[in-house]
Structure 1
Amino acid sequence: MSLHINKTLIIGLGLIGGSLAKALRLNRQCGLVMGYDRDYEEAAKGLRNGVIDQAAESLVDAVAEADLIVLAVPVKAMERVLIDIAPFIKPDALLTDVGSTKANVVAAAQRVFQRLPSGFVPGHPIAGSEKSGVDAADAALFQQHKVILTPLAESSSGAVTVLTRMWQSTGAEVLLMEVEKHDEVLAATSHLPHILAFSLVDTLAQEQGKNTDIFRYAAGGFRDFTRIAGSDPTMWHDICLANKEALLGQLDLFSSGLTNLRQAIESGDSESMLGIFTRARAAREHFSRILSGTAYSQDMSNQQVTFRAQPGGSVQGKFRVPGDKSISHRSIMLGSLADGVTEVTGFLEGEDSLATLQAFRDMGVVIEGPVDGNVTIYGVGLHGLQAPPGPLYVGNSGTSMRLLSGLLAAQAFDTELTGDASLTKRPMGRVADPLRLMGAEIETAENGRPPLKIKGGKALQGIHYDMPMASAQVKSCLLLAGLYADGQTSVTEPAPTRDHTERMLSGFGYPVQQEGATAAVRSGGKLSATRIDVPADISSATFFMVAAAIAPGSDLTLEHVGINPTRIGVINILRLMGADLQLLNEREVGGEPVADIRIRYTPLKGIHIPEDQVPLAIDEFPALFIAAACAEGTTVVTGAEELRVKESDRIQSMVDGLQTLGIDIQGTPDGAIIQGGTLGGGVVESHDDHRIAMSFCVAALRATDTITINECANVATSFPAFVELAQQAGIKVEKEEG
């Protein structure tokens, strides 16, 4: 699609300017490409090499003709060039630049133009090479690289749109950022590493008598790090002057960190050294996940992942699903607050659990791993957390946000809890309101939704709280706040909910009083480090349990599954529906009961699900809806209004999806009425809800045609390898990205 630009002028035909010119000349999105360089021979060479269509001899004449002007000159030269061209720019022409600092370019433009033109949009392509000059021009230089545009108040939306499309036509990803933010970010991520590389090489090169050996025997790490010291010295001199304030700030931060590391090495402070190195490695791995598009710090709902499940098949085999998410969350939280070193095995390496882990790293806790489900936590004690450097981002994890709010309400420092677009829609007033009764100061967005801003330094008072709705997250939040509150904090639940927090507190040696439906703690105790073996997650196992229950010929054994009494609603409900389900090798591991679950196909029958089982299976209902759709007769679900405020309105999501597949289902305020029938094919929306997405994959086992499930990126929050394990078991599903 043409951008309606007849003539483009690139001023400065170095690596960046020449590469942009060559890319635009090849894709023909910006009309005739003219090139100007103060060394005309460079422009003439660009013409001979096919980089530009026309070599401009007169800068003034070329500017007067151009619809789009790109300043690809050194930062220091920007103002001089603007002075020369300003009187000759057409009123409706677009103007941009490629400088790696923006505030000084904008300041120069303000001095030259007085009133900035609406067509001016500063820009910065983050791409480069050790080569320079027009001979190095590479039309592919910007492919899969980022370009930052920094629109000004005066910039027209049309100019921003055209320049965005121009850069996108070269294969670049375009981001918008404020000028000040750009300079601050680039000072940390680009400018600081470059000047450190220059400084390191310069320092080592001056070591008399040693420099030859240093460089002769330098390992790959030294070569990789110092490669960027081969960049243009004049350009980096200019950048240091242009971005002086932001760069000095980053240098001060780095110097402080280096001083801390030196002190740790000098004093033999092993824990401090390990903390620095483990945090750095985790940050580097996290950075790699960002680049691959799989990091929890991204809004997963912005990623396009589709599941396509083919009809038929059965499930067979014996395997273990990933670790229990609820226990994984709590192992990090309580291990961080314990005295001593806690070792965790079976940790779930899903995005939700990793969000909790990263939050505690951000609060100064040294955590090694996870590696193959193994995590080592160097606890800081109940009062050892430190203020995080910024908001704590917990992605899609409601558990992280609700439980953390209880812990953070009693800390001495302010915190902010944020999440992705899906989490931002979920109600947090249910934890904020009772925490306020305890004396916490918490600010939420409209209607009690995230982000949560928690004021530090508040003295909490123990309360008794009768929960209006059964919720393990609310109960756990208040019990964790009770670890710090004056007196006793007790919570009474209207129906049993998972008790992992109470069990794990006891496992860490913290006394918990339990009497009937009430759990209580008093402040003043301490947590002592322990070992935790996280059992397989019954919520993840549920998808395969239902798969085996509905698909003829299935015989499946799921190993080491947690069968906590507060979580076995799905087992009880499937048995009531007639499922052939056996618990084998029952045992207790780390205070949690586990078993191997064998389930074989037998026809299911519709039932009225007992309401006392609903809280014990609240996360498993999307899959149970699929079981009901495949059962003979009618299944009635009541008392499940909690499903409407999960990652999606799970009642409505399942009703819409099953109706699309031809099932007679009617939603009610607190559940649904489902008539068993024949599942067809179709396109189903998961609404960024991991459990909805996985449930409809299972449905394909009994479908007559292909089921396509949209918006499946969030499956990574709880079950990263779901598709691979489903394929191994016999479900014919493929994942499509893009």
Structure 2
Amino acid sequence: MFKKLCIIGVGLIGGSIARAARANDLCTTISAYGRAQDLDNLQQALALKVIDSYSLNLEQAISDADCVIIATPVGAMPAIFKQLQAYWSDSVLYMDAGSTKGNVIAALSLVFGDIPGNFVPAHPIAGAENSGVGAALAELFQGKRVIFTPCVQTDKHFIKQATYFWQGMGSHISYMQVEQHDAVLAATSHLPHIIAFALVDLLGRKDEQGDIFKYAAGGFKDFTRIASSDPTMWLDICMANKQHIIPLIEQLSSELGDIKRMLQDNQAQELHDTFSYARNARQRFLDQHNNMTQSIIFTVQPGGHLQGEVRVPGDKSISHRSIMLGSLAEGTTHVTGFLEGDDALATLRAFQAMGVQIEGPVDGQVTIHGVGLDGLQAPKEPIYLGNSGTSMRLLCGLLAGQKFDAVLTGDKSLSGRPMRRVIDPLSKMGAVIESTDNGTAPLTIRGQSGALQGIHYDMPIASAQVKSCLLLAGLYAQGKTSVTEPAPTRDHTERMLSGFSHPVEQEGNQVTISRQGQLKATNIEVPSDISSTAFFLVGASIAANSDLTLKHVGINPTRTGVINILQLMGANIELLNQRTVGGEPVADIRVRSAALKGIAIPEEFVALAIDEFPVLFVAAACAEGTTVLTGAKELRVKESDRIQVMADGLQILGVEAQPTEDGMVIQGGTIGGGTVVSHGDHRIAMSFAMAALRASDTIVIQDCENVNTSFPGFVSLTAQLGLNISSEEG
């Protein structure tokens, strides 16, 4: 990638970058810069062949370098920036490797007056017990995360260069805001180091020569391992990030005070609950960490076509609701076609945790032994819902009227999504729900059995999840609960409530429900998910010589916006064998190649296709002319900011895509190749996979592990139909 790489600060991290860059042929030569007091270290780096040359003169060290990486302690960076200013080149990629970012950005602004566009702030999440260049390892970053914290001024060309460089060393790239990065690292890295240093300092001063260290077991060694880290480096880190560390120390002190009080007052059960929660929280962390470290990467070769006949997995929305209403019904409900994806399974496990006996799923079949509206039991621990926003928002409504308290948690993505849209109207009904200051999870829902009051709620934004949440709360409220939506949204909840024999009143855009009545068990056949079908509708439309039939697809009129939009663009789509199964309209859909044209997407279709827009953006990129989307601001608060993430990815692939506050403007044309990041969003990942059908070069898609949340078996099925796709663990 680079003719000359210059490392400023050749210690463990700088030396490992040099070794990894050389091992992976990312540069021709490597130089290093250091101060006079660093001479022994520089000479050792040269002797170990970590670098090819060094200089105590900065101008000489960086001369002709096309990539410069600053791997010094963060406290030294302001002085480094001042030295670099005189020799700064706008064509060179500059990066740092610091553990804090706020002070780095502040120093850059102070020296340069603004953030240079060719500086990419980076933080490799990697380390070793030993320090110094002698401990440098070429494989240190293999499979590890590197966090980029680019600013608005950072040029995307240099972000792309930095991405390729770190990926070339085997790393996975994540993106964070500067403030978020420093707050998260304060909690997960900086505070643990302080605790380890403080504990060893305490015990060492107490009885270093006595029995404490002599008889310390392996747990003490493991717990205090990080106290062997370089004290100078950690002094710099702690001073640079003290504004985030000090509040955490105060919170920890309070937590220790609570434990001290429990011990003093012999509150054994409270202490046991604290330890149990901590143990379970750690296990959830390990589960999430394992999923994160086993990142899935899709590699899709250009070209191909889609042909044949296929039935895609079951509808996720209906699968969620079948578990919820089946659990609250009287009697036994049998479900076929259940989606065995992570999201729907999160709902299933949640109800099992509340005492519902559920058998399966086995080959899409689930048997639910309902406990009735008032039969749920208090979960013994917080309910973890993974990535499923549907589970969390709908459960808020159901749990608001129970006789017990419950806590809902989720993964990083779900914990960042807005929940006030359900908390606020539920509060008007009398619900008590505690959230973070930002209105996000974890959510604590206080039992309000018999206290909820029905309300009329005019939804400010069309949302099936909000509507369904309030209707489910209405099952436990006094009087009637009615919801008016500004535009039609999916009506699976209303249809299924009727299917379970509970009365539902509908008049225009208003839906009304009351406590009167009960849910009676029924059998449910889940149709194929039209949201999953959408990837194939677009793929077969844009790929030459495609002819694909998708079997038993749900065509609920509140979900067919994607078909309406594609047909307006000129897609060749036929609905065959239309019928009604279990109250839901279904059909077989045949789609063939077509020359698509850009359109202004009618706003009345936006709410009906909100989940399908990532792949519709791909269709627009392949269409002749310009496609304009407005009125879709909700896309910015999905699993990712789908407007920005899709725009970024399309731009990397050479598509002219301009994001707007509530949509996007896309100029259709050719799609190139490149590496895009899905940011853990399953629909983003699958959309870019379909883009390869019209690409001129290979598309690599990172962070695809969450595809299983909605579409298990996506890779094998698409490969069978003609997509040139492979998957590997990163």
TM-score (norm 1): 0.63
Partner of 2:411: 420
Note if contact 1:121-1:150 (Cα within 8 Å) is conserved in structure 2.
no
Change (3 A) 1:496 1:313: same
What is the aligned counterpart of 2:335 among 318, 333, 344? 344
Match of 1:486 in 2: 478
The one-letter code matched in structure 2 to 1:681 is: G
Alignment of 1:220-619 (within 5 A): 300-457=291-448, 459-619=451-611
Counterpart CA distance in 1 for 2:202 and 2:379 is 34
Q: 1:415 to 1:116 in 2, by over 3 A?
A: farther
Q: Deviations over 1:249-290 (max 9, x none)?
A: 89xx9xxxxxxxxxxxxxxxxxxxxxxxxxxxxxxxx9xx99
- 1:110–1:663: structure 2 CA closer, same or farther, 3 Å change rule? same
Q: Deviations over 1:627-670 (max 9, x none)?
A: 01001111111111111110011011111111111111111111
Aligned equivalents of 2:630, 2:214: Cα separation in 1: 60
Over 3 Å counting, the alpha-carbon distance change for 1:565 and 1:2 in structure 2 is: closer
Q: For each residue in 1:174-219, what CA deviation from the matched residue of structure 2 results, as whole angstroms up to 9, or x when unmatched?
A: xxxx9xx9xxxxxxxxxxxxxxxxxxxxxxxxxxxxxxxxxxxxxx
SS at match of 1:347: coil
Aligned to 1:711: 703
Q: Is the 1:306–1:711 contact (alpha carbons within 8 Å) kept by the matching residues of 2?
A: yes
Equivalent residue, structure 1, for 2:633:
641
What's the CA shift for 1:2? 9.3
Q: 1:680 to 1:525 in 2, by over 3 A?
A: same
Q: 1:636 to 1:107 in 2, by over 3 A?
A: closer
Distance in 1 (alpha carbons) for counterparts of 2:380 and 2:338: 26
**Superposition pairs of residues 653-672 of structure 1, within 5 angstroms:** 653-672=645-664
Query: How far apart are the structure 1 equivalents of 2:425 and 2:216?
Result: 49
1:106 deviates by 14
Q: Is the 8 A contact 1:299 1:420 kept in 2?
A: no
The 8 Å contact of residues 495 and 583 in structure 2, kept in 1 or not, is answered as yes
Alignment check: 8 A CA contact 2:432 2:448 kept: no
In structure 1, the gaps of 5 or more residues are 4-23, 31-95, 97-102, 126-147, 163-177, 182-244, 254-285
State how far apart, in whole Å, the 1-side matches of 2:652 and 2:460 are. Answer: 35
Task: State the percentage of identical aligned residues.
Answer: 64
1:149 corresponds in structure 2 to: 222
**Counterpart residue number, 2:620:** 628
Report if the CA contact (8 A) 1:614-1:639 is conserved.
yes
Equivalent-residue separation in structure 2 for 1:591 and 1:325 (angstroms) = 16
Q: Secondary structure of the residue that 1:644 maps to in structure 2?
A: helix
Task: Give the whole-Å Cα distance in 1 for the aligned partners of 2:707 and 2:656.
Answer: 27
Q: Deviations over 1:152-184 (max 9, x none)?
A: 9x956559x99xxxxxxxxxxxxxxx9xx9xxx
> Offset at 1:303?
3.5
Conserved? CA contact 1:299–1:421, under 8 Å: no
Deviation per residue, 1:592-626 (Å, 9 max, x gap): 00000000001111111110001000000000000
Shift of 1:525: 1.7
Paired letter, 2:685: A
Runs of 5+ unmatched residues, structure 2: 1-10, 14-129, 137-195, 235-251, 256-267
By how many angstroms is 1:304 displaced? 1.4
| CA distance in structure 2 between the aligned counterparts of 1:303 and 1:515, rounded to whole angstroms | 49
Over 3 Å counting, the alpha-carbon distance change for 1:487 and 1:629 in structure 2 is same
Task: Judge conservation of contact 2:471–2:481 (CA < 8 Å) in 1.
Answer: yes
User: Once the two structures are superposed, what CA deviation does each residue of 1:447-466 show, in whole Å capped at 9, x if it has no partner?
Assistant: 11111111113511000000
Describe how 1:175-190 pairs up with structure 2 within 5 A: none
Q: What is the TM-score with the length of structure 2 in the denominator?
A: 0.64
Query: Counterpart of 2:452 in structure 1: which amino acid?
Result: L
The offset of 1:108, in angstroms, is: 11
- Does the CA-based 8 Å contact 2:334-2:523 persist in structure 1? yes
For 2:709, the aligned partner's letter is T
For 2:201 and 2:455, the matched residues in 1 are separated by 56
Per the alignment, in what secondary structure is the counterpart of residue 725 of structure 1? helix
Flag the 1:118–1:426 CA change in 2: closer, same or farther, 3 A. Answer: farther
Show the counterpart of 1:680: 672
Structure 1 SS opposite 2:370: strand
Amino acid across the alignment from 1:566: T
CA distance in 1, matches of 2:528, 2:356: 26
Partner of 2:144: none
> Does the CA-based 8 Å contact 2:431-2:448 persist in structure 1?
no
Does residue 123 of structure 1 match 2:218?
Answer: yes
1:697 aligns with 2:686: no
In structure 2, do the counterparts of structure 1 residues 339 and 313 end up closer, same or farther at CA, with 3 Å as the change threshold?
same
For residues 216 and 620 of structure 2, the distance between their equivalents in structure 1, rounded to whole angstroms, comes to 57
Q: How big is each residue's C-alpha offset from its partner over 1:342-380, in whole Å with a ceiling of 9 and x where there is no partner? A: 000000000000100000000010000000000000000
- What count of residue pairs does the alignment treat as equivalent? 506
SS class of match (1:380):
coil
CA 1:107–1:482: 2 relative to 1, 3 Å: same
Q: In structure 2, what is the Cα distance between the partners aligned to 1:328 and 1:402? A: 15
Distance 1:118 1:702 in 2: 65
Worse-matched range after superposition: 299-308 or 603-612: 299-308
DSSP 3-state at the match of 1:604? coil
Mapped to 1, the partners of 2:575 and 2:537 lie a distance apart of 12
In structure 1, what is the Cα distance between the partners aligned to 2:480 and 2:620?
Answer: 44
Q: How far apart in 1 are the matches of 2:417 and 2:409?
A: 12
Question: Are the equivalent residues in 2 in contact too, given 1:338–1:529 (CA < 8 A)?
Answer: yes
Map of 1:81-100 to 2, 5 A cutoff? none
Cα distance, 1:505–1:661 mapped onto 2, change above 3 Å: same
**Shift of residue 524 of structure 1?**
3.0
Q: CA deviation at 1:511?
A: 0.5
* Structure 2 contact 482–510 (Cα < 8 Å) conserved: yes
CA distance in 2, matches of 1:721, 1:116: 57
Q: Secondary structure at the match of 1:481?
A: helix
Q: Which residue in the other structure is 2:114 paired with? A: none
1:42 corresponds to = none
1:107 Cα shift? 13
Mapped to 2, the partners of 1:472 and 1:115 lie a distance apart of: 66
The 3 A distance-change label for structure 1 pair 29 and 124 is farther
Q: Closer, same or farther in 2 for the Cα pair 1:29/1:645, shift >3 Å?
A: closer
Contact 1:300 1:714 in 2 (8 A): no
Say which SS state the counterpart of residue 502 (structure 2) adopts.
coil
